[in-house]
Structure 1
Amino acid sequence: MLERLTSSLLNAPVIKRGEYNYFIHPISDGVPSIDPLLVEEISDHILEIANMDVDTVLTVEAMGIPVANALSLKTGLPLTIVRKRPYFLEGEVELSQSTGYSKGALYINGLKKGDRVLIVDDVISTGGTLLALVNALKKMGVEVLDVVSVIGRGEGFLKLKELGVEPKILVTIDVSEKGVEIKDVCCDK
């Protein structure tokens, strides 16, 4: 299961950014081109393991969009994108997020108290983005029914567990100058 994803990760180039070994992959970077069969494999797997009894599929701009959009198309559920710029709409909620390589504001629009969401993300590493997002959603009264990350790297998922959220990570990896190593594949049968 998830053969395309694991194979593509094992073949992903790794570059150094300072002391950080950074893997380059279509799902996390959009480089090289995103294979629609890869997105289909990922979205089909998420449909098997995620709680889809939600009002919307939610993702953060930008790289969660291809997978979240595929889920939206397959289920007929709306897609809500947390954006990196404000739109100044009524009810817009701003949150600050910090990752291993960036800090900035994110903006939530189109959600209200009582909405139930599935959060889909491309990569969880430090957990900074998802932690800030889940906290903001809880303050808004939005119910996070499930969180799925395509790729997991590092211990960031533990921060979500402290909030009572148990993220599902499709493939957990480690990255060194030698390349990507697969540590775990979620729900592999």
Structure 2
Amino acid sequence: MEKLIESLSDAPIIDKDGYEYLVHPISNGVPMLDPDLLREVVVEVMQTADLDVDKIVAPEAMGIHLATALSLQTDIPLVVIRKRPYGLEGEVSLHQQTGYSESEMYINDVEEGDRVLIVDDMLSTGGTLAAICTALDDIGAEIVDIVVVLRKVGDSALDDTKFDATSLLDITVEDGDVTVH
């Protein structure tokens, strides 16, 4: 995790209405995402996650590049939870709210009995993952594992669910600095 830790020291932090927002290649695609960093993260996810699943599920937008690389390495199909509806049969909508935004998201191609791995870039307020987990559970999918690259230490909406996420690194963002725990 050397490259990931090193990249955190250079990551800008911006203020979003009082919320310290970490701008990082893994979670924002800005600054530019170095292939060596992405490779390091995906290899670590492969070593950490339970890959005995039918599908990898990732929310749009920044979970997509991680899950795509993971899907290519494991030959496990990828489902992207989208921010816009397509009106396809079986589409399920969910409402997610974070510390800095809220929106609708849409799930296609996950069915009752599917065993899924959820992959995402960051667990911060937990609003997105909590909403996704609830929707997948309502569908009847089995959430086998949840892996995030970075988790901000502190309370999260995921804490109010029956689901737990594994993180590659736990961090705090405070007073413009990132600390790795």
Q: Same fold (TM over 0.5)?
A: yes
Q: For residues 164 and 100 of structure 1, what CA distance do their matches in structure 2 show?
A: 21
CA gap 1:156/1:64 in 2 versus in 1, 3 angstroms: farther
Deviates more, 1:98-107 or 1:16-25: 16-25
Percent identity, aligned pairs only? 46
Quote how far apart the aligned CAs of 1:16 are: 2.2
User: Which of the numbers 167, 170, 173 marks the counterpart of 2:168?
Assistant: 170
For each residue in 1:102-137, what CA deviation from the matched residue of structure 2 results, as whole angstroms up to 9, or x when unmatched?
Answer: 111000001111001000011111111111110111
Q: Which amino acid aligns with 1:103?
A: E
Q: Which amino acid aligns with 2:46?
A: L
Q: For residues 100 and 163 of structure 1, what CA distance do their matches in structure 2 show?
A: 17
Unaligned runs of 5+ in 1: 184-189
Unaligned runs of 5+ in 2: none
Tell me the equivalent position of 2:151.
152
When the two structures are superposed, what TM-score results if normalisation uses the length of structure 2? 0.95
For each residue in 1:64-107, what CA deviation from the matched residue of structure 2 results, as whole angstroms up to 9, or x when unmatched?
Answer: 11111111000011110000000000000000010011111000
Q: Any idea what SS the aligned residue of 2:8 has? A: helix
Structure 1 segments of 4+ aligned residues over 6 angstroms from their partners: none
Q: Which amino acid aligns with 2:99?
A: G
Quote how far apart the aligned CAs of 1:156 are: 4.5
Tell me the equivalent position of 1:39.
38
When the two structures are superposed, what TM-score results if normalisation uses the length of structure 1? 0.91
Q: For residues 113 and 14 of structure 2, what CA distance do their matches in structure 1 show?
A: 43
Q: For residues 80 and 18 of structure 1, what CA distance do their matches in structure 2 show?
A: 32
Q: For residues 155 and 59 of structure 2, what CA distance do their matches in structure 1 show?
A: 16
For each residue in 1:127-162, what CA deviation from the matched residue of structure 2 results, as whole angstroms up to 9, or x when unmatched?
Answer: 1111111011111000100000111114345x4354
Q: Which amino acid aligns with 1:179?
A: D
Matches within 5 A, 1:1-189: 2-157=1-156, 159-183=157-181
Question: Which has the higher relative contact order, 1 or 2, with Cα contacts under 8 A spaced 6 or more apart?
Answer: 1
Q: For residues 178 and 137 of structure 1, what CA distance do their matches in structure 2 show?
A: 35
Q: Which amino acid aligns with 1:91?
A: G
Quote how far apart the aligned CAs of 1:177 are: 2.8
